[in-house]
Chain A
Amino acid sequence: MTKVTMTVNGKSVSAETEGRTLLSSYLREGLGLTGTHIGCDTSQCGACVVHLNGRAVKSCTVFAQDVAGAEVRTIEGMANADGSLGVVQQAFQDHHGLQCGFCTPGMVMASAALLAENPKPTEAEVRHGLEGNICRCTGYHNIVKAVLAASGQDVAAVAAE
């Protein structure tokens, strides 16, 4: 076992790992941060997306030892300092961008990364930018709407408001 230290949601943390310990296991089992979910084993579904040094990655496809010392942000670190929902989180609630909630952490992390890179995306850019995250509940309608709304764009014109 090797102790791996990194910064997660602004705090320095460490946990014992094997070579094969995935970043997702490190977070879920090592640190008890179970907001990061595992929905597949082929790096397709995106439920496990976290920010690694500011970039969205699939934490189930990264070894913990490979990212020792990194800055990691998870869904548990997305709320405002006062505990209120962050902009993207709030938009997801306001626009019903989630149902069962299982894909949601990955979806929020992917959306936040998308907006950090492209603060005013088009609908097509949002859809393309979320292609690595599968949601089985929403048909994506309200997710896309939420991301556009989180970018400050007027979504009142979107179908079926």
Chain B
Amino acid sequence: MPKDTGIGASSKRREDIRFLTGKGLYTDDLALHAQAHAVMVRSNVAHGKIVSIDTAATEAMPGVLAVFTGEDFVAVGGNPAGWLIKSRDGTPMREPKRPVLAHGKVRHVGDAYAAVVAETYQQARDAAQQLADDTVIEELPAVVDMKAAVANADNRVHDEIPDNVCFDWGWIEDNRAAVDAAMKAAPHVVTLELTNNRLVPNAMEPRASIGEYNTGTGDYKLTTTSQNPHLTRLLVAAFVMGIPENKLTVVAPDVGGGFGSKIYHYGEEALVLAAAKKLGRPVRWTAERTESFLSDAHGRDHVTKIELGCTKDGEILAIRTETHANVGAYLSNFSTATPTFLHGTLMSGPYKVPHVYVNVKAVFTNTAPVDAYRGAGRPEATYSLERVIDMMCRELNLDPFEVRRKNLLTPDQFPYQSPVGLMYDTGNYQATLDKACDLGDVAGFEARRAESAKKGKLRGMGLSTWIEACGIAPSHLVGILGSRVGLYDAATVRVNATGNISVMVGAHSHGQGHETVFPQIVADKLGIPESSVEIVHGDTSKIPFGMGSYGSRSLAVCGSAMDRAMDKIIAKGKKIAAHMLEAAEGDITFADGKFSVAGTDKAKTFGEIAFSAYVPHNYPLETLEPGLEETAFYDPANFTYPAGAYICEVEVDPDTGKVDICSFTAADDFGNVMNPMIVEGQVHGGVGQGIGQALLENTSYDETGQLLTGSFMDYAMPRADDVPFYTVDHSCSTPCTHNPLGVKGCGEAGAIGSPPAVVNAVIDALHRGGITHVKHIDMPVSPGRVWQAING
């Protein structure tokens, strides 16, 4: 029987009530007294020298309160990269300053070089147009194509970086010679060159920020669309603005999706704070969708050559990749970690591969910055690997299911030290593959294919077996690898006097349902109703600390912190109970919300203990402080390793090239599942985005660096009629061995495992239809590309 409360129950989301009644409060919904409006002035060329900005006419326009240019921020710091990567020759990466507003040069279309603040939005917009008209920018040749950027030393995004290379990373360098030798000796080598298409995250809520400054206290407040308000505070305070952390509060209220793009600190956040201080009034900024396209961090954008050495019967012997990873014009906060430690470390997948070597060149171009987007590096690794394995099967005429079974790690091989630096703790990859085959009715495929053929459609089936590493940790290891932050999280469990609970968590919920799931865990452990637990998040003045939500880390890291804090609550409760029940502390047990003396019927309820802690009339005051509130910081011992098997079936219309997804089956291992409904929803969403990447989404710059897909008119995302109902399962669970909840991450899984399943299915459909000359089609596998491939 499914549970109806606590861990494992599909509790309905309490946050839904406000979202469904229009009572959610997103940043742009907040109207503040005396607020002024900022509009950014953005470059319309990809690369140019700022010759002059004449602000006089703009300043004289109706309602204009202030004009800012790059000159105003020369003295403040830059927005730093979160990870320092070393090239394989040992040199540190090149890290150009990323200013609040561009100064001297603009480096991508949409690069903000000025901002106008006015009484109304329309006045600010009118004035921004005037300022753009009064600015002279001398256009320079744009660097767009990565390989050309590396080859042409005369054309530089940053004058001090001659070859536009941020770093040239090898992983693991010590293994390189052995990998080369294994590849040379392999009986068969498959080579595939592919592009992992650049994506625009497009959270439905555009970015927005409101700056406030209290002239009486000197306190700043930033309300912003962030996945991690504490990290934003740290970056704004310590690196960019020099505001003491204790004088800055960052609030991320309801946030309408992030998918990575709202992890990072953006210049507009610093701008509204500076403007608020200058004017002594709240200053707000909200992106139009076009601005989001131009200035949000994009995702993916890898060009990869992958080689796979194998035996003739499909045993994988060696993998070697060379990747050009676009970082855009500036380093966004995690742009250097994404193509390296979140990508290279996954290049052996769920397979036992003895030899793996990964090379990544990160390249500056005159395009928007590129950073982590749902999956972040892991989809790129998974796609390369699952596509090349599929190609191997075709070249050697092997069954893709059998080849995976042959190479998958087996349960007895855990813990498994991968050749690319990770220690997989647990898994059962055969089980998820079997489950997917069963749910996806692989056995019945031939009959379905015959039905499709009657309609003139080509049906194909694609498989992907994937693994990811999420909840990046531990801090001491990531520190060695170059991270400039720790990757723990924190939670405070505050038991109120009447026995209900407020939990202040460092994780931030922007769709994940923390407000519902975290109370389930608390209720389960403390034996109180879920409705007696409230989650507080998203406000640096209310929560202890937190690294926010990204990389499928909330439950594994912050949930674990909360669990540890509850352990402390229980431990203290036992002391209080021992006193009240006149028993030894060691004899007190806690279960079902009651502190009991073992072997007796003497007990105190959780509520009685809480009341006693706050009204300590009968309390061991000489040895114990009153109150019942505990904080824990949790730094995981390892990543968690969700894994799964995805099967996609498609129909291809050979006349138009259109691909329809007929079915999509996902069998995942997320360890213990706290709320199945929410976990399934996360997989649905991830698969939806993965299908988007595979079939629809394309970010295209022309050779001059103009973004051709700058609105929803040209950037295609899945709509309801582009996708089917998905079949998802998470019953093949191997609990994580090193966190107290036994949980793994589920937020990114769908986006990681699905793109290769879709593309493999399309290629399969073509081959089964006799179109065997098509070896590969780059994503998005659009109708035009499929038709071209068939007829090319």
Contacts and interface: CB of A to CB of B under 8 A. Distances in A.
A42 B713 contact: yes
Nearest to B509: A100
Nearest 10 pairs of A and B residues by beta carbon? A35-B22, A139-B688, A102-B256, A101-B19, A100-B511, A99-B511, A44-B712, A34-B29, A75-B22, A139-B684
A100 B713 contact: no
Interface in A85-125: 85, 89, 92-94, 96, 98-105, 108, 123-124
A131 interface: yes
Interface residues of A, number: 61
Interface stretch (B332-340, B423-431, B558-566, B715-723): B715-723
A128 B727 CA distance: 21
A44 B714 CA distance: 10
B645 to A, nearest CB: 15
15 contacts: A34-B22, A36-B22, A39-B204, A39-B256, A41-B289, A41-B711, A44-B711, A79-B21, A85-B20, A96-B12, A99-B257, A105-B19, A124-B721, A139-B689, A160-B680
Interface string A63-98: 000000000001110110000010001001110101
Interface residues of B, number: 61
B720 A103 contact: no
Given A138-B685, A140-B723, A99 B12 contact: no
Interface in B259-299: 259, 288-290
A100 B203 contact: yes
Majority secondary structure of chain A interface residues (helix, strand, loop or mixed): loop
A140 B720 contact: yes
Interface of A: 18, 20, 28-29, 32-42, 44-45, 47, 74-76, 78-79, 85, 89, 92-94, 96, 98-105, 108, 123-124, 126-128, 130-131, 133-145, 158-160
B681 A99 contact: yes
Contacts of B460: none
A133 B720 contact: yes
Contacts of A29: 31
B28 A160 contact: no
Interface string B234-270: 0000000000000000000011110100000000000
Given A34-B29, A143-B720, A96 B289 contact: no
Contacts of B288: 41
B649 interface: no
A14 B577 CA distance: 61
B726 A141 contact: yes
Contacts, number: 196
B26 interface: yes
Given A42-B712, A85-B21, A93-B17, A103 B204 contact: yes
Given A139-B726, A160-B729, A85 B22 contact: no
A126 B205 CA distance: 24
Nearest to B512: A99
Contacts of A135: 204, 720
A101 B21 contact: no
Nearest to A85: B20
B686 interface: yes
Pick from B202, B719, B726, B727 the residue with the most CB of A within 10 Å: B719
Contacts of A47: 204
B257 A100 contact: yes
B23 interface: yes
Interface string B123-150: 0000000000000000000000000000
Given A108-B20, A128-B721, A131-B720, A100 B711 contact: no
